[in-house]
Amino acid sequence: MSNSEAKAPTNFIRNIIDEDLASGRHDKVITRFPPEPNGYLHIGHAKSICLNFGLARDFKGRCHLRMDDTNPEKESVEYAEAIKDLVHWLGYDWGEHLYYASDYYERLFRWAEELVEKGLAYVDDLTPEQMREFRGTLTEAGRPSPCRERSAAENLDLLRRMRAGDFPDGARTLRAKIDMASPNMNLRDPVIYRIQRHHHYRTGDAWCIYPMYDFAHPLSDALEGITHSLCTLEFEDHRPLYDWFIDNISVPGRPRQIEFARLSLGFTVMSKRKLLELVREGHVSGWDDPRMPTLVGLRRRGFTPAAIRTFCERIGVGKSDAWIDMSVLEDCLREDLNESAPRAMGVLSPLRVVITNFPEGQSEEFEAANHPQKPEMGSRRIPFSREIYVERDDFMEDPPKKFFRLAPGREVRLRYGYIIRCDEVVKDPESGEVTELRCSYDPDTLGANPKDGRKVKGTIHWVCAARSLACEVRQYDRLFSVPNPGTGGADYRAHLNPDSLSILTGCRVEPALGEVAPGSRFQFERLGYFCADSKDSAAGRPVFNRTVTLRDSWAKLGQGR
Ligand code: ATP
Ligand code: MG
């Protein structure tokens, strides 16, 4: 990781940690990233990962990766493995500190027994509907369940029988005995265990009761010696409950919960439920569809871990929820790829050009730098012959004055090559479509930086017709056509952008790109950044994803953002 990243800007969490270290409250910093393995990580999770692992790195502490797997219904090994892979991909390492909340089940159960023994938890027989009714409202205190005054001995017996499988699913719950009149609804005797016969991807059928998040989370933090437990703002109202469990159970640590604003990105959705629906209903090709805000999607699209880390640093960590524009993320990506991506030439919509005064059957090779500012990235040789392809958009039959590209009678420079002049336009007699340009070249104008004194305003990209490679290019646009999908009473799916994917076939690229490793990134000169698709590319038959354009075309179009 670079030095600039190591000196992260300060934020309110860093200030709290500084104070805790100065006051001696803590002598080290231990954070954790606690994903639930019920889906793939998205860019919002990246914010949390960079924050937690970044703090651990900067304060020379450590960050645990903990699978928060207390909800067997939706969790799987596949998701857990993908989470590990993606945290590594982002550039972070938990070392030996990989944990699973499901490994704590026995411990958590004993702590539940402790609460019961202390008269601080009871087994309740209310149905979910009754429980809701008894709970009261924001303006009205709740009522105690008839089971609230059961004796500790009876509760202990019932709790153990719950665990033993004596009762059907949902028949009973274990509840913390706190305060049914609390203005904070979370403290109105929250459920801490529920009966649910569901196969767990790790513990199998060993358990038929599972702990609730609000109970399992603080205790897992305490067990691991977490000092600062960072979560998103919606858990602010749960903090008194977090502290209540820490205060009333004989846990080994005293973690402190601190809330920060979650990341919301425009033109996409970030709830795992919605992302799963998009996958299941076939709106996208999978979790790793390059239009998805998932890390697997962004990776396949060509995003770099460095760009995502820079983004997470740039947006900062604050206390108020704010929407971040997608262009912020894309700018971080452009900055990184501009530095790191080798240049190449590709033509998306080829138009044949015949160089009439270049001998048939002959060819040349031009030297082309892989990066204009980085000689250390080397160079390659690109073939040239009598027939080449240029971009259809780089020709206009009747151009405006400032069109410095090809037009009848006009000259352009071929990137790394000669100056050519358009002498004749060949059209399909029926459709009138331009099918070929016949040009002549000036043999004295070769060179990447020729000092031939010729004033030619335009330089265009091109490839050799015979020795270029046909390929498919996938261009992506925003997955949704509005900044905040699902607003105004609409289903978020109604806002899917029908033009978010366009597949171009018959594109042509330099021959060397036939052998690139899947996932390799390039700047196709004048077009944008592209990445060889990691799933669909084959040797000699690459498929390229357009990662991002060279400039923000949405800003140019003034799409009201
Ligand atoms: P979802 O609501 O989409 O299911 P989640 O918050 O339940 O997401 P978890 O797997 O529990 O998903 O999240 C793991 C960690 O990532 C949590 O600490 C959570 O606060 C954090 N996180 C999730 N989404 C965001 C986000 N958009 N911005 C910042 N942090 C996030
Ligand atoms: Mg969660």
Q: Tell me which of 328-332, 399-403, 421-425, 545-549 is least confident.
A: 399-403
Q: Rounded mean pLDDT of 171-182?
A: 98
Residue 2 has pLDDT above 70, yes or no: no
d(CA 62, CA 145): 44
d(CA 280, CA 288): 13
Rounded to 5, what percent of the chain is helix, strand, coil?
30, 25, 45
Average pLDDT in the chain: 94
Residue 554 has pLDDT above 80, yes or no: no
* Alpha-helical regions (H) of 23-65: 43-58
Interval between CA 117 and ligand 1 midpoint (Å)? 34
Residue 551's pLDDT band, with cuts at 50, 70 and 90, is: confident
484 secondary structure, DSSP code: S
Residue 560 has pLDDT above 50, yes or no: no
- In this prediction, residue 488 carries a pLDDT of 85
Pocket of ligand 1 (CB under 6 A): 34-36, 44-45, 47-48, 68, 231-232, 262-263, 270-272
Interval between CA 269 and ligand 1 midpoint (Å)? 13
Interval between CA 333 and ligand 2 midpoint (Å)? 28
Interval between CA 36 and ligand 2 midpoint (Å)? 6
Q: Ligand 1, closest atom to CA 274?
A: 3
| CA-closest residue to ligand 1 atom 18 | 231
DSSP reduced 3-state for 431: coil
Pocket test for ligand 1, best of 92, 99, 232, 270 (most atoms within 8 A of CB): 232
pLDDT digits (tens, 9 = 90+) for 478-527: 999 999 999 888 999 999 999 999 999 999 999 989 889 999 999 999 99
pLDDT digits (tens, 9 = 90+) for 256-279: 999 999 999 999 999 999 999 999
Give the predicted TM-score (pTM) of the model: 0.94
DSSP reduced 3-state for 99: strand
Interval between CA 35 and ligand 2 midpoint (Å)? 7
- In this prediction, residue 454 carries a pLDDT of 72
- In this prediction, residue 122 carries a pLDDT of 98
Residue 4's pLDDT band, with cuts at 50, 70 and 90, is: very low
Q: Rounded mean pLDDT of 188-208?
A: 98
Would strands 121-124 and 173-176 be described as parallel, antiparallel, or unpaired?
antiparallel
d(CA 153, CA 130): 25
User: Which ligand minimizes its atom distance to the CA of 235?
Assistant: 1
Q: Rounded mean pLDDT of 330-334?
A: 97
Largest interatomic CA distance in the chain: 101
| CA-closest residue to ligand 1 atom 26 | 44
Q: Ligand 1, closest atom to CA 262?
A: 28
DSSP reduced 3-state for 404: coil
Burial letters for 460-495: b for 16+ Cβ neighbours within 10 Å, e otherwise?
bbbbbbebbbebbbbbbbbbbbbbebbeeeeebeeb
Percent of the chain with pLDDT over 90: 91
Cα atoms in the Cβ-side hemisphere of radius 13 Å centred on 352:
14
- In this prediction, residue 10 carries a pLDDT of 87
Residue 188 has pLDDT above 60, yes or no: yes
User: Which ligand minimizes its atom distance to the CA of 273?
Assistant: 1
Residue 561's pLDDT band, with cuts at 50, 70 and 90, is: very low
- In this prediction, residue 7 carries a pLDDT of 57
- In this prediction, residue 1 carries a pLDDT of 42
Q: Rounded mean pLDDT of 233-237?
A: 97
- In this prediction, residue 539 carries a pLDDT of 86
- In this prediction, residue 5 carries a pLDDT of 44
CA dihedral of 406, 409, 413, 417, whole degrees rounded to 10: 110
Residue 324 has pLDDT above 90, yes or no: yes
Token code pair at residue 430? 């029926």
- In this prediction, residue 446 carries a pLDDT of 84
Q: Tell me which of 73-82, 85-94, 118-127, 455-464 is least confident.
A: 455-464
- In this prediction, residue 56 carries a pLDDT of 98
Interval between CA 214 and ligand 2 midpoint (Å)? 10
Who contacts 539 (Cβ-Cβ below 8 Å, separation ≥6)? Answer: 514, 515
Residue 546 has pLDDT above 50, yes or no: yes
DSSP reduced 3-state for 349: coil
- Helices 43-58 & 12-22 angle (0-180, nearest 10): 30
- In this prediction, residue 301 carries a pLDDT of 98
Q: Ligand 1, closest atom to CA 235?
A: 20
Which residues are known to be catalytic? 36, 262, 272
d(CA 178, CA 372): 67
User: Which ligand minimizes its atom distance to the CA of 35?
Assistant: 1
User: Which ligand minimizes its atom distance to the CA of 48?
Assistant: 1
Domains of the chain from N-terminus onward: 3-260 (3.40.50.620), 272-343+471-556 (2.40.240.10), 346-460 (2.40.240.10)
Question: DSSP secondary structure string, 254-294?
Answer: --EEEEEPPEEETTS---HHHHHHHHHTTSSSSTT-TTSSB
Residue 559 has pLDDT above 70, yes or no: no
Taking the CA atoms of 441, 446, 452 and 453 in sequence, report the sign of the dihedral they define: positive
Q: Rounded mean pLDDT of 10-26?
A: 95
- In this prediction, residue 457 carries a pLDDT of 84
- In this prediction, residue 296 carries a pLDDT of 98
- In this prediction, residue 447 carries a pLDDT of 65
Query: Which helix (H) or strand (E) covers residue 296, if one does?
Result: helix 295-301
Q: Ligand 1, closest atom to CA 271?
A: 3
- In this prediction, residue 553 carries a pLDDT of 62
